[in-house]
Amino acid sequence: MNAPADSAVAQYFSTIRAALGGLEIFLADRNSPLYRNSVVGEIVVPYLARLKASFACWENRIGFVQQFRVSRAESGFPVFQNVLELENDRQSAEKRLAAIPNADQLRGEMADFILRHKAFPGDLQARMAERLYLEQIGKGDIFSPFVLPETIRVAVNPKTMRPYYVVCWGAFDGTATLPMVYMATIEDSSENVIKMLVTKDGKLNPDVDIPLPVGGLLNPELASRFDDFALKNSAYSLTPATIATNLDRDFPTLHPKQLRRIVLGPFYSAGITENNERVNEILSKVRKPENAWLLTWTVQEVFSKAERPAKKGFWSSTPAQEEFHIETDDLEAARMGVSAYEKHALVPHDAYQALYAAGETVGIFGAYKVHVISGNQVISEG
């Protein structure tokens, strides 16, 4: 996909903007499954805002670069190189902005060029686009290759008398080109943390002020190691069960009770993506190009069904160990390495009608919970 004259680029940004905006509406809908599960909805929203900010930056960037590459045959999201370039540009934005004239000066130079040369000031327009791009990066958080963990909730399990945290982080997988959000519920048996956070009657200590969200794992002695763990264990190729098992093994005093992974994508856009020929063919018949898209996502979950207690012997000892449930009766769940999963699809009303008229809804949406968006309303099936 070449920029900026290529109309396919403009269409891609139009459809992905509509899809992410539609997902935002869906998350805000009180009747949506993710809204009812307030923790998942609460966690996804800020990462969606990061993703929208990234696309706003990329859209400005095509005003002064020659190419914008999308994983057309697989995820439908930008290739990982775009994500890396955005992160690099974010770190150098302030220095580069200082070397570019301000917007008013550039507008003046553009007007002067037009009057003098009776031609379009292409080079000056590219400079303006670069300024807008660098300013956009500085306005807020983007979806980086890895978004550091933060603790968003803390409470106490009255049965174990341990504090537990809800921790989340994000990753953009370079191989699958998919943005992902992770959330983990983790009990902490560290003696110093229990002493500080848990009262004698098994409640959260009201005298300890915890200004949530807290950057990193709440346990300061393990926070840096946990960041490093999350960085190395967030690949799409790793199953949630593998990640949870690795976490349980690497941190003797952390006990992962639940791990969720929300995988955004694939994304389908008529005339742009090639990840499903039949879907693409039908979407291309939708009257309005901005409605010719389909966004899917998957929520994967693995949970602990029991905790084997620690064993202390004279010669050796074994730390406590979680037993994670894998739903082996469901072949897809077993393949994913999860206790449970949900597949979702968000589609504009026009596109859904086209798929329905073609008799393709069952074949395409068989395993998905379908959410049809029309204007600012979302209707969920089933």
pLDDT tens per residue, range 280-314: 888 888 888 889 999 999 999 999 999 888 777 66
3-class SS shares of the chain: helix, strand, coil, % to 5: 45, 25, 30
What would the mean pLDDT of 46-62 be, rounded to a whole number?
A: 93
Q: What pLDDT, on the 0 to 100 scale, is given for residue 5?
A: 41
Rounded CA gap, 127 and 129, in Å?
A: 5
Task: Give the residue with greater pLDDT, 6 vs 53.
Answer: 53
- Rounded mean pLDDT of 98-123? 79
d(CA 229, CA 99): 39
Mean pLDDT, the chain, whole residue set: 89
Evaluate if residue 29 carries a pLDDT over 90.
no
User: Which tokens in the block code for residue 300?
Assistant: 């994967």
**pLDDT confidence of 107, banded at 50, 70, 90?**
confident
d(CA 102, CA 366): 53
3 has a pLDDT exceeding 60:
no
Element (H, E) at 178: strand 178-188
Question: Where is pLDDT greater, at 376 or 71?
Answer: 71
Q: In the prediction, which pLDDT does 4 show?
A: 41
pLDDT at 382: 57
Percent of the chain surpassing pLDDT 90: 59
Q: Which two tokens stand for residue 67?
A: 């190419």
pTM value? 0.91
Q: At what angle do helices 38-61 and 122-139 cross, to 10 degrees?
A: 160
- Looking at residue 103, its pLDDT comes to 79
Radius of gyration of the chain (CA): 24
| CB-CB contact of 260 with 186 (8 Å) | no
The closest of 166, 149, 378 to 258, measured between CA atoms, is: 166
Q: What is the pLDDT of residues 146-204, one digit of tens each?
A: 999 999 999 999 999 999 999 999 999 999 999 999 999 999 999 999 999 999 998 99
Distance CA(362)–CA(367), nearest Å, equals: 9
pLDDT average, residue stretch 42-48: 91
Q: Where are the alpha helices (DSSP H) in the chain?
A: 7-28, 33-36, 38-61, 80-98, 103-117, 122-139, 191-197, 220-232, 240-250, 277-283, 331-336, 349-357, 361-365
What CA–CA distance (Å, rounded) separates 146 from 34? 23
Q: Looking at residue 31, what is its pLDDT?
A: 64
At 315 the pLDDT is 63
**Amino acid letter, 40:** V
- Higher local confidence (pLDDT), 83 or 116: 83
Spatial distance between the Cα atoms of 134 and 92, rounded to a whole number of angstroms: 9
Mean pLDDT across 320-326: 93
Question: What letter would DSSP give residue 170?
Answer: E
**pLDDT computed for residue 204 by the predictor:** 94
- pLDDT attached to residue 106: 78
Counts for the chain of helices (H) and strands (E), in that order: 13, 12
> Which residue, among 377, 382, 379, has the nearest Cα to 25 in the 3D structure?
377
Residue 77 reports pLDDT greater than 80: yes
| Residue 64 scores a pLDDT above 60 | yes
345 DSSP β-pair partners = 296, 370
pLDDT of res. 313: 63
